[in-house]
Amino acid sequence: MSRDHLAPPIAPAHSFFSHRWLSAATLVVAGVLQTLTFSPFHFWWLGPVSMLLILLVTIPLRANRLFLAGLLTGLGLFGSGASWVYISISEFGNTPIPVAVLLTAAFVAVLALFPALAFWFWGKLAKVSAVRRLILFPAIWILGDWLRGWLLTGFPWLYLGTAHTDGPLAGLAPVVGVHGLTFLIAASGAAIFAAGWLISKQRHASAGIVAVAVLTPWLAAPALNRVDWTHISTEPTSVAAMQGNIPQQIKWDPEFLKDQIVAYLGMTEPYWDTDLILWPETAIPIPQDQAGKIIDHIEENLGKNSTLITGIPWYGFSERAGGFTYHNSIMAIGNGEGMYHKQKLVPFGEYVPLEGVLRGLIGFFDLPMSSFTRGPENQSPLTANGTKVMPFICYEVAYPDFLARNAVNSDLLLTISNDGWFGDSVGPLQHLQIARMRALETGRYMIRGTNNGVTAIIDNKGQITARIPQFERAVLTGEVFKASGSTPYMMTASWPVLTLALTLIVFVRERVIPKN
């Protein structure tokens, strides 16, 4: 016999949420609230609030309406938090405004399909049981996030846990990673909903148990901030990072290539003896096979124990690509060695899907240097005066498991970027916060070098120790420290939380409320 009667039935929604248009607006607002948890707003406490609003609307809905509910939530989240792609499409992609608006809307809509599909699956699993829906909600949300960060190269952006670089759950990041933090935030929203329902039924003791369960990780996490999961050396490495602030409009103009190199060399002149000098992504805007004189000049001026690491395109024969190809790369010069080729390429920015069909249709499909080839897996760190430096180029820093896996054999993390593509939007500031979360998860210092901001030094707790404001030509100087050992998250990546999510799905479906 079915035991569905043990679960509270889905009660009619509050009159406010029972109105179709108000419910739709609430879901969109809930998505927007999640954007406000991230930089530059930092209202991390809105995360559980957003989850609670979503549940207030969706718990009473029939399963066949949950797809639309997820879509509306996604439109609110990505429409507010990722629509900065419009700037690169319109301003730097030479795309007419109506077409740029259409492409941006399509981008947001495609991303919104991920929560829509997750909610649809949620409805299929939970049917009409409120208990099932509440228990499964954090698991479904996490699996939706994970799928979005993996499918078709992925878009691992706007994970709710990232907001806790400065929030109370930060101490748990080296243990459970960003997906684990997101799971806790979603579970907190579900627990608040459950506690409210229990109180309304005069079941105060049960509500108290739920409240204690949800508060425990929030209260315990700050104490973990004092735990050092990795060993930090006491010997500093001096750093000088150049932020050239080269306008994006002239970045790839052949008439200005010499001026860019001269600018970076001039900025570096007082710092040739610094231990580690960093130039940003494609600071040398010509392939390494044409940059021999520039590289020789750098080597001649560097101090005996100094290493300069710079972004530079690479051109040559690749067995993996089956011919000559371009890579978006980083190379070490001076008292160091190594070349790293970017593995996680940005669609349309660094390669064009369906190139034979799309190339040439509009300006956005013909961006400069949009024919890169993905680099091989398991590349070795660069070395700088004996320090193992694991580099990541731009978008790569957004992939939590990818970075944790590659950081294992490193002393120091480094990321370079050119966020000039996104102008004065929230995109570059979100990008900086993501880099901070990666440093926190791995217990390692990170140097972040960008063309126009934000260039920064991030410590092993994810805190910024030095930075340059956006849109300024300046040099960032400071110190970093090598790290050894691994955090728990580096050893397991996101598999524990993903396994928990899958286990909940199986357990709830087969055990809590079994079939007839």
Q: Are 394 and 416 in contact (CB under 8 A)?
A: yes
The Cα–Cα gap between 349 and 461 comes to 32
- Listed residue (233, 162, 219, 224) closest to 488, CA to CA: 224
Q: Are 147 and 114 in contact (CB under 8 A)?
A: yes
Q: Are 177 and 497 in contact (CB under 8 A)?
A: yes
Side chain identity at 179, as an amino acid letter? H
How far apart, in Å, do the first and last CA atoms of the chain sit? 5
What phi and psi, each to the nearest 5 degrees, are found at residue 303?
A: -65, 165
Active-site residue numbers? 281, 342, 394
Burial readout 396-407 (b: 16 or more C-beta within 10 A, e: otherwise): bbbbbbbbbebb
The Cα–Cα gap between 347 and 345 comes to 6
The Cα–Cα gap between 459 and 237 comes to 13
Helix (H) or strand (E) holding 336: strand 336-337
What phi and psi, each to the nearest 5 degrees, are found at residue 23?
A: -65, -45
The Cα–Cα gap between 430 and 271 comes to 30
Q: Which two tokens stand for residue 450?
A: 């960008």
Sheet of strand 276-278: strand arrangement: 339-341, 323-334, 307-318, 276-278, 231-243, 474-484
Angle between helices 173-200 and 427-442 (to 10 degrees): 110
The Cα–Cα gap between 86 and 443 comes to 34
What phi and psi, each to the nearest 5 degrees, are found at residue 94?
A: 50, 45
The Cα–Cα gap between 283 and 311 comes to 6
Strands (E), 156-291: 231-243, 276-278
Q: Which two tokens stand for residue 292?
A: 């021999």
